[in-house]
Amino acid sequence: MSRLGKKPIAIKDKTEVTVADDLVTVKGPLGQLQLRFNRDIGIKVENGQVILTQNKKTLETDALWGTYSSLIQNMMEGVNKEFEKKLIIEGVGYRIEVRGQKLVFSVGLSHPIEMEIPKGIKVTVEGENISVKGIDKELVGQFAANIRATKKPEPYLGKGIRYGGEVIRRKQGKKTV
């Protein structure tokens, strides 16, 4: 049994939630998000609250019940306030710039790397700080992870791309005798 799934989700001001078959749509001041759900989970909008119930009692619906509750809460939060992930680039000569709808990386490889910015995501680069913003929490997090994956921070010198609050455990180099 899910503790999150049992609790009704209060709908925030300026937010509209509609359910049609297996599609939940959340509209707010910043935009609209849609997500398809499993039909085994019942979703109702009543008295300014979203209520989730299990139509079938299986292991899969037990697992999905709380997950869907969290997804709906994230959707409501995203259409009211953008999610943001901050990244920091460290290293001599490492650069990232935005060219139209592409990010261009120069991170110590023999060639520059180009990455397409998905729709609904805003990327700003100020010096060594990169900011990824958007209303879809999953899309923002995945795109930030893709950016970090281009040059993960290495433990000896700490060069690479890391998250804003991430602490890199540094290793000691070889000792000379």
Q: How far apart are CA 4 and CA 23, in angstroms?
A: 20
Q: What is the tens place of the pLDDT at every residue in 162-177?
A: 999 888 888 888 887 7
Separation of CA 154 from chain center: 24
Q: What is the tens place of the pLDDT at every residue in 76-132?
A: 999 999 999 999 999 898 999 999 999 998 988 889 999 999 999 999 999 899 999
Q: How close are the terminal C-alpha atoms of the chain, in Å? A: 60
What angle, rounded to 10 degrees, do the helices at 137-150 and 59-80 form? 90
pLDDT at 158: 85
Q: How far apart are CA 134 and CA 157, in angstroms?
A: 32
Q: Are 20 and 36 in contact (CB under 8 A)?
A: no
Has residue 2 got a pLDDT over 90?
no
pLDDT at 143: 96
Q: Which amino acid is at 1?
A: M
Separation of CA 88 from chain center: 17
> Which tokens is 176 given?
């000379």
Q: What is the tens place of the pLDDT at every residue in 36-70?
A: 998 888 899 999 899 988 888 888 888 888 899 99
Report the mean per-residue pLDDT for the chain: 91
| Phi then psi dihedrals of residue 129, to 5 deg | -100, 135
pLDDT at 56: 87
pLDDT at 30: 93
Q: Which domains are present in the chain?
A: 3-80 (3.90.930.12), 83-163 (3.90.930.12)
pLDDT at 81: 94
pLDDT at 1: 60
Residue ranges of E strands in 14-165: 16-20, 23-28, 31-36, 41-46, 49-54, 83-90, 95-99, 102-106, 113-116, 121-126, 129-134, 160-163
Residue 23 neighbours by CB under 8 Å, 6+ apart: 34, 35, 36, 37
